[in-house]
């Protein structure tokens, strides 16, 4: 049985691949570097491996575009391929901090 035929396989994905599909960075290698830098947290657990698994419902803490900025997102979907920016925006929901 291939990974594509396994229904459970689409419930999780490598962190660097998910970040690339969500258009966090332009290149997958950049996404791998972000994941390996220790700047990403999955459900409050610090991650230092690009192959860490992201699952539906996970909460990711990511570095923002500006220095010192932090983004918190919830994983809503797993993509099979990298799509448009509109498709990428459907993969997550930004969690706002309470005012």
What is the chain's Cα-based Rg?
Answer: 13
Kindly report, residue by residue over 4-15, the tens digit of the pLDDT: 555 555 799 999
Rounded Cα distance between 10 and 2, Å, is: 12
Task: Tell me if 71 sits within 8 A of 94, measured CB to CB.
Answer: yes
CATH number (domain holding residue 70): 3.10.290.10
Kindly report, residue by residue over 66-82, the tens digit of the pLDDT: 888 999 999 999 999 99
Closest CA to 76 of 5, 34, 22: 22
Is 50 within the bounds of a domain? yes
The pLDDT of residue 41 is above 80: yes
Closest CA to 78 of 28, 10, 19: 10
Structurally, the chain folds into a number of domains equal to: 1
Is 60 within the bounds of a domain? yes
């Amino acid at each position: 049985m291939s990974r594509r035929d396994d229904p459970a396989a689409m419930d999780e994905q490598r962190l660097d691949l998910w970040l690339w599909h969500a258009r966090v960075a332009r290149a997958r290698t950049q996404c791998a570097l972000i994941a390996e830098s220790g700047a990403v947290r999955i459900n409050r657990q610090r991650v230092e491996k690009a192959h860490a698994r992201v699952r539906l419902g996970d909460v990711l803490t990511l570095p923002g575009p500006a220095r010192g900025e932090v983004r918190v997102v919830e994983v809503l979907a797993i993509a099979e391929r990298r799509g448009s920016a509109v498709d990428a925006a459907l993969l997550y929901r930004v969690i706002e901090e309470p005012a």
